[in-house]
């Protein structure tokens, strides 16, 4: 596979497809309880993968333009789902609806009904922070010199992000009162601002890697896959862990190394999947539909499919069946409704997309 633009986009979509399946799997309650070590390993990199890929596709522009584009892509789906949550809460009375509305405005995982959607405002804030930082660098530095300094600048920003983010997460300041809900779950700052430094570290690593062939065509993918899976397994066994929504980071340096290993592991797997026509098409489609899967999978899997299967089948069948049925139903809805009825599809897609 060459690194032409179409293939580069396909490879990234395949990586997103792998990533969104891991997100759905990680949010399966039976999987979390039955295979907890694997669950912890996945959590080290499955959400950072999407921040990394967003960094890969990041193109510096004016803050105004970035705000319009990122707001349309990330905040419109977030607020549409949030308002649906408010309407659902309204059935129980005005006070629950007001509480739901306040949680939607605060915009972190444990203040909203659809928990995984904390990712959208967080990515928006990280994207805007990256835009402002790169705009400041452009204004202060001549273009030719800025291009020469690109690697050093991005690496420095990533390191600062990781250090600051690790210190914030390690301090537990935003995972303790008053930043907790009535169940004791961490809330963090509004719009996950406390996570932005760490997320920017991952984001800028993606931007730095955007010109690297490894991102689009991993050399020796089988060897890389085995090596990174081994590193991830060993570091997880030693206690490295990361859960951004719960503001939990243990053993920061091993955890960041495990996160990097997991991301490279997905890139190696994506290279292998891209070699076979039907897997490239399947996972490429899943990647293009990753937003709608993120939006809908949690209530569908946790409240409907998984409980039904869990009462009738062993754990392994329940987990696999829940993921396959959940993703299958959402993809059917996407293909049959969202990509055909523009009045609904505009929430997810900025323009009508052909099948």
State the sign of the Cα–Cα–Cα–Cα dihedral 329, 87, 302, 265: positive
Q: How many angstroms separate the CA atoms of 240 and 223, rounded?
A: 23
pLDDT at 351: 53
CB-count burial class (<10 Å; 0-12, 13-18, 19+) for 115? middle
The pLDDT-based confidence of 60 (bands split at 50, 70, 90) is confident
| CA angle centred on 163, ends 160 and 202, rounded to 5° | 70
d(C-alpha 350, C-alpha 257), whole Å? 36
Over residues 209-255, the pLDDT tens digits come to 998 888 988 999 999 999 999 999 999 999 999 999 999 999 999 99
pTM for this one? Answer: 0.94
Cα–chain center distance at 302 = 19
Contacts of 341 (CB under 8 A, 6+ apart): none
Domain boundaries, the chain: 45-283
The 10s digit of each residue's pLDDT in 160-194 is 999 999 999 999 999 999 999 999 999 999 999 99
């Amino acid at each position: 596979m060459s690194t032409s633009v179409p293939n580069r986009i396909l490879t990234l979509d395949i990586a997103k497809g792998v990533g969104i399946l891991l997100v759905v799997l990680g949010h399966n309650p039976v999987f979390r309880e039955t295979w907890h070590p694997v669950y912890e390993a996945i959590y080290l990199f499955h959400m950072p993968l999407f921040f990394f890929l967003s960094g890969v596709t990041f193109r510096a522009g004016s803050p105004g333009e970035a705000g319009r584009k990122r707001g349309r892509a990330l905040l419109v789906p977030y607020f549409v789902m949030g308002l649906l949550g408010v309407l659902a809460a309204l059935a129980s009375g005005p006070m629950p609806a007001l509480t739901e509305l306040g949680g939607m405005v605060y915009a972190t995982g444990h203040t909203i009904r659809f928990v995984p959607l904390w990712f959208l405002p967080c990515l928006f804030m990280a994207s805007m922070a990256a835009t402002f930082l790169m705009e400041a660098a452009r204004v202060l530095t001549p273009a030719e010199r800025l291009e020469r300094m690109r690697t050093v600048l991005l690496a420095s920003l990533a390191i600062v992000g990781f250090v600051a983010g690790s210190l914030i997460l390690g301090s537990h300041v935003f995972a303790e009162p008053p930043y907790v809900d009535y169940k004791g779950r961490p809330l963090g700052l509004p719009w996950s601002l406390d996570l932005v430094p760490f997320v920017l570290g991952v984001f800028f690593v993606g931007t730095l890697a955007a010109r690297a062939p490894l991102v689009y065509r991993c050399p020796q993918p089988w060897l890389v896959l085995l090596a990174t899976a081994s590193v991830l397994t060993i570091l997880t066994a030693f206690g490295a862990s990361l859960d951004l929504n719960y503001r939990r980071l243990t053993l920061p340096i091993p955890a960041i190394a495990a996160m990097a290993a997991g991301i490279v592991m997905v890139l190696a797997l994506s290279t292998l999947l891209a070699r076979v026509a039907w897997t490239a098409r399947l996972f490429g489609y899943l990647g293009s539909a990753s937003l709608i899967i993120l939006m809908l999978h949690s209530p569908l899997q946790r409240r409907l499919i998984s409980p039904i299967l869990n009462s009738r089948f062993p754990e392994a069948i329940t987990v696999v069946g829940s993921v396959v049925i959940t993703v299958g139903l959402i993809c059917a809805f996407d293909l049959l409704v969202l990509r055909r009825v523009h009045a609904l599809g505009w929430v997810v897609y900025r323009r009508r997309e052909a099948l």
